[in-house]
A and B are shown apart, each in its own frame.
Chain A
Amino acid sequence: MAELRTERLSVAAGARQLVRRASLTFASGEFVALLGPNGAGKTSFVRAALGLIPRSGGSSELAGCDTARLPPAERARRIAYLPQRRPLAWPNRVRDLVALGRFAYGTALGRLGPDDSEAVGRALEACDLGPLANRTADTLSGGELARVHCARVLASEAPLLAVDEPVGALDPRHQHRIMDFIRRFVDGGGGALVVLHDVLLAARYADRVCWMRAGRLLPAEPPREAVTEAAIAENYGMEASVGWSGGTPTIVMRRPLPDPSRNPTQRE
């Protein structure tokens, strides 16, 4: 079973602490959502947990191996990463972009082995990209591009997934489709850590939700315990009402609370 375990992980930029002693473990079969206001340190936490940026303290291990010391390709085969910023320099074909997910297996574009082709085919199918496979990226809509990025992450067939804000700037239907892809990946035995700004999506799809604010990470809890009116007020400074009907949450954001009741966030 694959597992990412961070213990008291800290990240500093100069004198500023971006992440303060954050501990989180997630494993196969779990969908963990990471919530928090802008500047809370969510992205820095994920990057440092994966060993993509240096940490200033603590530890982060993938199945017992320090992520900072794992060779990049070895790490990529254990955990796939979809960053928040997703630029594309060239108008590649969709199939080629998805095939880039196989990079850590030594795959070169135009020379896919049978395993690679199968994984790419499965990922294209999982994200409903079959009909778009031969289109070029510059002809796709934002929602279609989001599916392409999702597919290239799935194509790596890594047991774990770290995804940073996968649904920003997407219409509701695409938001739910992307979350469905991730949910299906987890139901199929994968583990996912998903940074989200949408509390409702987090409450609806995640098995556990954890809050991060001013660099501090709270323990992950089931959505009903983590997503409360008090937590939303404390973390976002928003007055909200939260209700549950069966397994489906309803969250209404009412108004920003007056400033003094909020702790200032660390950085924008």
Chain B
Amino acid sequence: MGETRLNLGLGAAAAATVFAACLIGPTELSPSDAAAVLFGGGSPGDRTVVFDIRLPRALAALFVGAALGASGAALQGLLRNPLAEPGVLGVSACSALGATFALYFGFAARGALILPLAAILGALAATVVIALAAVRTDSVLTLILVGVGLSSFAAAVMALLTNLAPNPFSLSDMVHWMLGSVANRSFPDLFLAAPFLAAGLALLFAARRGLSVLTLGEEAAAGLGLHLRRQRLAVVLGAGLATGAAVSIAGVIGFVGIVAPHLTRPLLGHDPARSLLPSALLAGVILAVADIGVRLAPTATELKLGVVAALLGAPVFVWIAARRRTVHG
């Protein structure tokens, strides 16, 4: 399938999903009402529903998905294995830990940027650990285990925080960060995270050509003219920034960064570089659709988006892990 056609198709799907998300909910909006609102018209009530509630929430799901999809695709290319992903590698959990830390020790109250920055710091710390481990070992298993360790550590420290934090700290807050949700997100929330998300994605896209040659291994890639250290730095920084920004919006949402690249890569000759953009778009669409599902599900309390993502994504992860084989060497 053509790269351009795939990207255009997924872009259209993303736009359609966001538009559909604006229609669906307790207040029924017709497509023409919603279109009127989006193009600057509509009744004040409709405008509130779309701009204060549905549109920011749908865009949050789309952006979070795009950040995780691109980070997953790039990390898979860098680490040369299809199981790498911010959630599995513990990057998201450490990022959530950073965010909770800032919240419950009161740093977050000192400035609006503190929360996203703390989430990004947590994400970067974890990404650096993963990248260092990746330099030392070729083993996929080692990396996944390091990720499991980081996730468990982050969860343990969060549990510890519930005991130590000076502010009263409810279990449900921790659950929010660890399970992930885009409920009640507003445009200001998105604007805060947007610059970091954009910077992270820009770094990943700027470095994507190098991901293609890494299929040959780091030594051959260096021989082909890849600046290895720069490549690692760009992907680690890019994935850290994008994942941190995503977590500051929605908490931990796992597995979407595995599923989306796994679906798009075979369509593009298994090239991690070319599958970066479609992975971002597809992951965005998956999360935006899943969030519509969350809103429609007839449950007493709303399901968490991260729970739905894990319910769908974890089995796929197991499936990929079970049938994985390297091509050669």
Contact = CB atoms under 8 A, between A and B. Distances in A.
Contact of A108 (B212, B219, B328): B212
Interface string A65-89: 0000001111111001111011111
Contact of A88 (B81, B223, B273, B326): B326
A103 B219 contact: no
B327 A108 contact: no
Given A88-B326, A110-B274, A100 B212 contact: yes
Chain A binding surface SS class: mixed
Contacts of A108: 209, 212, 273
B271 A103 contact: no
Contacts of A50: 223
Interface in A80-111: 80-83, 85-93, 96-97, 100-101, 103-104, 106, 108-110
Given A83-B219, A87-B216, A90-B265, A109 B274 contact: yes
A63 interface: no
A16 B126 CA distance: 34
Interface residues of B, number: 31
Q: How large is the interface on A (under 10, 10 to 19, 20 to 34, 35 or more residues)?
A: 35 or more
Interface in B178-220: 209, 212-217, 219-220
A61 to B, nearest CB: 18
Contacts of B138: 87
Contacts, number: 112
A103 B3 CA distance: 19
B57 interface: no
Given A104-B224, A110-B3, A156-B224, A145 B328 contact: yes
A97 B215 CA distance: 9
Given A76-B223, A110-B268, 13 more contacts: A75-B225, A76-B224, A86-B220, A87-B217, A87-B326, A88-B326, A90-B265, A92-B270, A100-B212, A100-B224, A108-B209, A109-B274, A138-B328
10 contacts: A71-B227, A72-B225, A76-B225, A85-B217, A87-B138, A87-B329, A88-B216, A88-B327, A138-B328, A156-B224
Interface of B: 3, 80-81, 138, 209, 212-217, 219-220, 222-227, 265, 268-274, 326-329
Interface of A: 47, 50, 52, 71-77, 80-83, 85-93, 96-97, 100-101, 103-104, 106, 108-110, 136-138, 145, 152, 156
